[in-house]
């Protein structure tokens, strides 16, 4: 889950500051600078595989289409060798059982309590809805982390770690390490000032 959230954050930050993109790959918008192929809000039923590999793109957004399943992971990786993530959220008839990717993270509505809203409205554009989804994912992640923390006895583990920290003189060790870094920084600073 964490891997998908990190990819989603990275993807969101990559595409949120939009530019004019050239068309490529079945009329998708492709931005070489940000390494994103955006095929969102269309009528695609499948991902088009190019005849030759397309290098330099890390993310493909196929949100809010009618895609039912992704091509085999090996085929997609061969077609886009630099690919690091795919977003298929908002494809209502997507076959979640067909999703068996191991290397490429895929963002989808599979297993989610809410389905991505694909309605385009004037008050909340694509950037706004992406940020809303990001906030929802973050809230879900923090709730899950908190639940697991309590499930595994995090409070007790935290107290045990704190007790061991003081038993071995952790506070003195931190002071010594901090002092070493301060001394090393001062020596470097003096060397550069002497030159």
Indicate the average pLDDT of the chain: 76
The residue ranges of every structural domain in the chain are 2-119, 161-190
Apex CA 105: angle with CA 90 and CA 39, to 5°? 40
Which pLDDT belongs to residue 18? 45
> Token digits for 185?
């920084």
Which pLDDT belongs to residue 39? 87
Contact 37, 25 (CB under 8 A): yes
> Token digits for 129?
């809805």
**Structure pTM?**
0.57
> Could you read off the pLDDT tens digit of each residue along the chain, which spans 195 residues?
544 554 454 455 455 544 444 557 777 888 887 788 888 878 899 888 988 899 999 999 898 899 999 999 999 999 999 999 998 988 989 999 888 899 998 888 888 877 777 776 667 665 566 666 667 777 777 777 777 777 777 677 777 777 777 777 766 766 776 677 666 656 655 655 555
Residue with tokens 């595989």: 49
DSSP tag of 37: E
Indicate the burial class of 60 (C-beta count within 10 angstroms; 0-12, 13-18, 19 or more). Answer: buried
Digit-coded pLDDT (tens) for 15-65: 554 444 455 777 788 888 778 888 887 889 988 898 889 999 999 989 889
CA-CA distance, 38 to 89, in Å (whole number)? Answer: 13
């Amino acid at each position: 889950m964490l891997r998908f959230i990190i990819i989603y954050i990275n993807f969101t930050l990559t595409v949120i500051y939009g530019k004019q993109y050239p068309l490529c790959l079945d009329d998708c918008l492709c931005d070489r600078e940000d390494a994103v192929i955006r095929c969102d809000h269309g009528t695609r039923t499948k991902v088009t595989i190019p005849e030759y590999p397309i290098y330099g793109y890390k993310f493909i957004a196929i949100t809010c289409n009618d895609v039912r399943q992704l091509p085999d992971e090996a085929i997609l990786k061969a077609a886009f060798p630099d690919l690091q993530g795919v977003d298929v959220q908002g494809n209502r008839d997507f076959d979640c059982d067909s999703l068996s990717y191991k290397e490429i993270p895929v963002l989808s509505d599979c297993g989610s309590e809410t389905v991505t809203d694909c309605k385009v409205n004037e008050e909340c554009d694509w950037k706004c809805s992406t940020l809303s989804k990001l906030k929802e994912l973050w809230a879900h992640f923090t709730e899950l982390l908190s639940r697991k923390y309590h499930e595994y006895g995090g409070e007790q583990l935290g107290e045990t770690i704190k007790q061991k920290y003081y038993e071995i003189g952790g506070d003195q060790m931190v002071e010594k390490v901090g002092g070493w870094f301060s001394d090393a920084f001062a020596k470097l600073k003096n060397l550069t000032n002497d030159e």
